[in-house]
Amino acid sequence: MTLLNRYILSIYIRIFFLASATFVGIYLLVDFFEKVDNFIEHGASASQYLLYFANKIPLIVSQVTPLAVLMAVFMTLGGLTRTNELTAIKSCGLSLIKTTWPLLLASLLTALAILAMNEFVLPLSVKTANTIYEEQVRGKTSITFKRDRLWFREGSDIVNISLVEPESKTITGMTVYHIDDHFRLTRRTDAVSGHYTDDRGWVFRQVTHREFTPLSGEMLGEKKLAQEILPLSKTPDDFKENQPDLEALNFRQLSALVKKMESEGHSPVRYKVDMHSRLATPFANVIMAVLGIPFALQRGRQTNVATGVALSIVIGFAYYVIMAAMQAFGYSGVAPPAVAAWSAHVLFALIGGWMLLSTRS
């Protein structure tokens, strides 16, 4: 790497980390004021404050890094233009591509680092933060998710649900294990599907009751019913509130979940969109670098911190709005999952490429 490339990268890295720290600090401050009432109301300790916000940092970094990359590229090239250093570089015969490739390489390495963090660090940190806030602070009873299967306690019984869809108020595949005081199975209830009604509660179809001898485990009898109301205390809203946070699932977990749901005949469209998004989102860092170069060159000597912050916020807001809209199309089945996840990247990459080609080198 030449001396010039190291010089450009040193400026970029300094601005990048400063911008990242600023955006993370602002995010944490907003989140603190949003959550502080609940922390105070439930008498949270100082360690819970610190652990919660510490575990939120990886998620925040993943979300604000593209904005930091955009601002760092914009301010680096803008600073070189303002001090006439970029003019001196051009006079030496170096093209725009040769001058800016270290910035593009740095953004690519950042994207790969975020991809690795999302895969190995983020799921654990998100899960820990949610556990601290929901269980330790707010005191809510946890519902344990193992991929696509849901386990929880219902009094002295243990309930296993294959799939719950709160929006349609339906349950697919439920098994209730009735346990005595010595944790021995006395009865097992299986239901193929169930639907929730406000007046009757959970109505299940194709219900099978099996009675067992607690000591030997021998089945005493079996009873099958076409339909039955089972006393399940959870409502669809309870399941909706406690749905597994998709941010806590990495690409491999989502991929396994999609394959399992497809093998069982369920529709995994939403999970497919999120699976593709796990790969697509980190590369927004490269797209933002491509966008930052022409904007910096067009602004020239008028580049300053205020302009960089404003540009980062405006472009970042537009990017996330379009990305969210395309994901919504993917969730509803209007757009294929891969298209929904990558279309915002392709659109902004085309805009950035066109602006780069239009910029005089």
At residue 265, the pLDDT reads 59
At residue 312, the pLDDT reads 81
3 state SS for 264-329:
CCCCCHHHHHHHHHHHHHHHHHHHHHHHHHHHHHHHHHHCCHHHHHHHHHHHHHHHHHHHHHHHHH
Tell me the C-alpha distance between 113 and 107, whole Å.
10
Reading the chain (361 residues) residue by residue, the pLDDT tens digits are 688 999 999 999 999 999 999 999 999 999 999 999 989 988 889 999 999 999 999 999 999 999 999 999 999 998 888 888 888 888 888 888 888 999 999 999 999 999 999 999 999 999 899 889 888 888 776 554 433 568 888 888 899 998 888 878 889 899 999 998 888 899 999 999 999 998 889 999 999 999 999 888 888 999 999 999 988 888 887 776 545 567 778 999 899 888 877 765 567 888 899 999 999 999 999 999 999 988 888 766 666 667 777 888 888 899 999 999 999 999 998 999 999 999 999 999 999 888 888 875 4
Sign of the C-alpha dihedral computed for residues 305, 307, 313 and 319 taken in this order = negative
Q: Where are the domains of the chain?
A: 3-135+257-358, 143-241
pTM higher than 0.85 for the full model?
no
At residue 147, the pLDDT reads 39
CA end-to-end span of the chain: 22
Using alpha carbons, select from 177, 180, 181, 179 the residue that is nearest to residue 191: 177
3-class SS of residue 241: helix
Tell me the C-alpha distance between 178 and 241, whole Å.
26
At residue 361, the pLDDT reads 47
Residue type, 20: S
At residue 233, the pLDDT reads 83
At residue 275, the pLDDT reads 94
At residue 145, the pLDDT reads 44
Q: Which long-range contacts (CB under 8 A, 24 or more apart) does 330-337 make?
A: 330/269, 330/272, 330/273, 331/269, 331/270, 331/273, 333/269, 337/269, 337/272, 337/273, 337/275, 337/276
Tell me the C-alpha distance between 154 and 245, whole Å.
22
188-207 core/surface letters (b: 16 or more CB in 10 A; e: else): bbbbeebebeeeeebbbeeb
Say if residues 35 and 49 touch (Cβ distance below 8 Å). no
